[in-house]
Structure 1
Amino acid sequence: MRALVHDLALARDGEVPARDLEFTAVDFETTSLAPPGRVIEVGAVRMRGDGTVLAEMSTLVDPGPGVAPGATWVHRITREHLDGAPTMAEVIGDLLSLCEGSVLVAHNLAFEERFLAHELELLGLTAPPLPGLCTLRAARTHLGAGSCQLGALVEAFGLPAVAIHAALDDARACGQLLLALLAPPHELRLASRPRHHRLPVVPSSGRSLPRAAALRAGRRGWMACLMDRLPARGLHPPQPEGVAAYRALLTSVLAQGRITGPKAKLLARQAGRAGMSRADLVRVHRAVLEEEIARAGGPAGPRRPGRPGRRPAPPPRRDPRPAGPVGPVGSAGPARPAGTGGRAADRAGRGPAVRWVFDGRHAVRTEASDVPGVRRNGPTAAHRVRRRPSHRPTPADRVDDRPPLSSRTVTN
């Protein structure tokens, strides 16, 4: 089979700077590791060498009725996801137009090349050689030892992308890895200038079914993760019926007061069925919120911090009881004169009651205030007794502040 991609090399002493060139990072999820396996998801990102993203493409692809999706435990695509998705004949036109006049980029370029050539052959299409770059080959050549898997390199460079075996996310990660190799301190360049040829023009159906995979709440919430997993802007407008169904589902979820993981996945599935992008979600979300504000009867005021849908905490209640001799409820009150504490004062009803509390390591002596239910004096160092294993305090361990026996008055 004739080679479909002409692999360009990256070198430190290359002659062609990549800042002014355009690249298309692609990634395929497939049913097997080699043809005759089929492509079941396509992700592509068109960008400049300075990092400007020009367009994105993401869609599931139906390989045909009854075709198994393959390693579901890897890409998490089931046969149910593929039912109703566009076929390769419907999306190949968008992919070729996105690659027109750019350098094809992939992590393990030979893998994507084999499947792309196989799909073109099944459709009866012939394409001229495409200029391409392999980030896996560049990493092995210029980064030395260490793992060269896409996820490991993304973590090593500290890139904001994620590599989760989803076509769009892996294509984004591949593109960001290329930008990291072109920037200091590596500053790799192309060894030769790419030569572009005219690609076949294939009509597009305008259908797409993007997949928002591996949703996580994280610190930003479910909806932020959902929007990050979809293309920034779609190549075609979404389906009006699907957008209306997504809006109705979002209104129902918001009426329940909280967006949970299962609800976010339902929203993600409906957004994909409608072919919606991140920009489409922003427009629909703004319209729904404005409608809810108008229904509430006024503009939205400042929101108290906390979880969405949770009622704010009520203000603290003031105790209606008058202040006693120890001061208002919750205050320390005046100091107690010496000699008025202990069990003698407890019997007379004039002083605090002694209570022992275990905090796990120590037996702590505490005193309740004169007002029932209010604690005045907490544990102090003088009241703290080291607890021995399997030991409960004995009368000898307690601090007895009664007057000496000789000074007591004995009543017959």
Structure 2
Amino acid sequence: MIESLSLLGAGGHSARGVDFTALDIRTTGLRPGHVVELAAVRIRPDGSIAGELSTLVDPGPGVSPGPAVVHGLTRGDLDGAPSFGAALGSLLNFCRGSVVVAHDLRFVTAFLDHEVSRIGARVPVLPGVGTSDAARTAVQLPNYRLATVAHAFGIPARPGQSALSGARTVAQLVSTLFGRHGFTFATPPVLPALPQFAVGPLRPRPDVPVAEPGWMAEAVERVVAGRNTDAYLDLLAGVVADQHLSADEVSALAALAAEAGWPEDRVRTTHQRFVHALQEIAERDGVVTAEEARGLRHVATALGVTGVDPQPTAGGKPMRVLVLGTSVAADQLRARVLAEGVQLAKKLTASVTHLVADPSVPADEPRLARAAELGAAVLDVRAAPVALGFEPPPLRAVATTPDRSMRVLGGRVLMGVGLLLMFLIVIGMFGGTPLAGGIFIAALGVGALLGGWWITDPAPR
């Protein structure tokens, strides 16, 4: 149903004039099965939103909705919703004349293909883009979950349980990638001529605001994960976001892993690495709060991970960085903060220790003055890597200021005095100057020559 397009940096075919339709789905599991919710957001070339579409999808009588602990949907929510076949026409009409985009394009395509094949529909191939793959070429991050990438790119919209919240985040992300990051197409996208499909009533999920993430949800953004573990990491992150794991949630995770074909030892190893990574992140800044210690012990116990017993530390303030700006440099620094295992703040609070601004931030931005009032260090984006301890200070450059010019002049004068003294002692020796006096004057001359050379020598010390 969707064909992935190759992307380039500058130099390819521009996306100017191209509409994108961001897709997200909620499913019955990790392995292609049934879609239980789909959503799409149409975004214009100027970054404005042209429209939204979302609906719950009934997978069929008696079919389990899958992990309610992940997507929040129960069997009762899906009863009376349109089937996938009934919703497909509305989705295709919405995508007409646009490039489809999803964060994990392979995952979305696999499920849509499975559903289309199941109902025997014939659907033209749509051009598509995966924002996860594109983000990997733009910035270096510990993992490329949608929430992590959105945070690194300074996108305020956060994906929640609903497919629509995810599609909104993907829409802003693709606009950022093709906008300020300058992505282009390797070949011009070919948009198929789609007929007008028949549509039926849709059943969108009520729009619920996404809750503020707790410390563990933010810590997950700093957990290093490989390309093939992001899907399960997403599940773990969503379940532990509230720092609590019930027995039902653990059972649901085990069922999902088993359905995806994961053996028990792989699940156990994944849980161990995940929990130990969270503990390392909590302890990396030297400050472990009582809340962090309590949450880590609870999650470790629930997942059956041993050897996790973090001890709260008294006093201290962990480094917490807020990066303001809409430039590539700001995105790269936000990604660097996460990659270094440092807390990346979403807004200015008293816990922020450093505020970094790029040139797009006006000088009268109220948060700059407020940060200083709160005792946070206010940094320029170019100086931040050194100030935050991510890079060593640069070697002292050779001075080129007026002070350097005066040093050179003084050194040359001193060398001239030394040469003059040496010339005079030679003349004096022929004129009968006492040996002791000659040696003294010669020493002064040599000292003046060496001192002048040392002052004018440009080599850094």
TM-score with structure 1 setting the length: 0.49
Q: Which structure shows the bigger proportion of residues in helix conformation?
A: 2
TM-score with structure 2 setting the length: 0.44
Q: Which structure is larger by alpha-carbon Rg, 1 or 2?
A: 1
